[in-house]
Structure 1
Amino acid sequence: MAEMTVQVVTPDGLKYDHRATFIHAVTREGEIGILPGHINLIAPLKVSELKVRRVDDDNHVDWIAVNGGIIEIKDNVVTIVADSAERERDIDVSRAERAKLRAERAIEVAKQEHRPDEVQRAQVALRRALNRINVGNKY
């Protein structure tokens, strides 16, 4: 069976390192499905979930919340470099829910105070919280 290596790296170090038969990611240009033998590619990622189908079983899927970054595909090695990333089993959904509420409140306050930079920062925090909630609920 054809396979590839998937590694997710953050400033805290290697967060994920497994063999896979399929990967689904979301780049700024759109969704991408990656199979072994994919052409070499470098692309920026959106705040989104990463789906990794492991080699041991077609039903074994790992979900990873990736907060942006870069994906590089080269010679059946897929490397994701991100500011942060968490596997579904490591996400504290209640903490992510609290972060979502904080971000929503921050958006409202920043809008009332006419602070567009703060609105933008809070919207990014909200996207990250929603991504973590979505991935965390898959476990």
Structure 2
Amino acid sequence: MADQNHVVMVNIVTPDGVVYDHHANLLVASAIDGDVGIMASHEPLIAPLKIAEVRVKRTDNPHHEDAIAVNGGFLEFSNDLVSIVANSAERARDIDLRRAEYAKQKAESTIKTAEEKHNVDDLARAQVSLRKAVNRINVSSHK
């Protein structure tokens, strides 16, 4: 394991439990206000997250980066501990690509129907579903 003075602990949790728990040299996430990179000794931070990929450069394999599809939530960093709390999150290796592609097609169909019927509520929900599906598809390519 790497020198404990230069690592952060990364925890990603959802209502279903812990999705990710590792030591890392670097974490990159997409906050609402822009991308944030966190290394050891970073200033404390709390940031709301976008529906996007979180990348983690682990200490046990410096040539590998873990990718996790995070669907919003928030990130907190303090005392070399990154905690991400999200409604849902999946590691690249756990994503069912066929299911994600089906969700994408279904969301695109719902968007088309909602636009034709001028249903703004269904349109907004379908656009979020589409962003989640596209995020999962993109992250799945990092297996």
TM-score by length of 2: 0.96
CA distance in 1 between counterparts of 2:97 and 2:18 reads 22
Structure 1 residue ranges (4+ consecutive) displaced by more than 6 angstroms after TM superposition: none
Question: In angstroms, what is the RMSD of aligned CA positions?
Answer: 0.6
Matches within 5 A, 1:9-88: 9-88=13-92
Equivalent AA in structure 2 for residue 67 of structure 1: N
Aligned length in residues: 139
CA distance in 2, matches of 1:8, 1:57: 19
After superposition, where does 1:78-117 map in structure 2 within 5 Å? Answer: 78-117=82-121
The TM-score normalised by the length of structure 1 is 0.98
Q: Indicate conservation of the 8 Å contact 1:70/1:82, yes or no.
A: yes
Once the two structures are TM-superposed, the CA of residue 60 in structure 1 deviates from its matched residue by 1.9
Gaps of 5+ in 1: none
CA distance in 1, matches of 2:66, 2:142: 9
The alpha carbon displacement at 1:57 in A equals 2.2
SS in 2 for 1:133: helix
**Structure with more of its chain in strand, by fraction:** 1
Q: Which runs of 5+ in 2 are unaligned?
A: none
Quote the Cα distance in structure 1 between the aligned partners of 2:131 and 2:47: 20
Identical amino acids, percent of aligned pairs? 50
In the alignment, is the contact (CA less than 8 A) between 1:93 and 1:137 conserved in 2? no
**Is the CA contact (8 Å cut-off) linking 1:19 and 1:55 kept in structure 2?**
yes
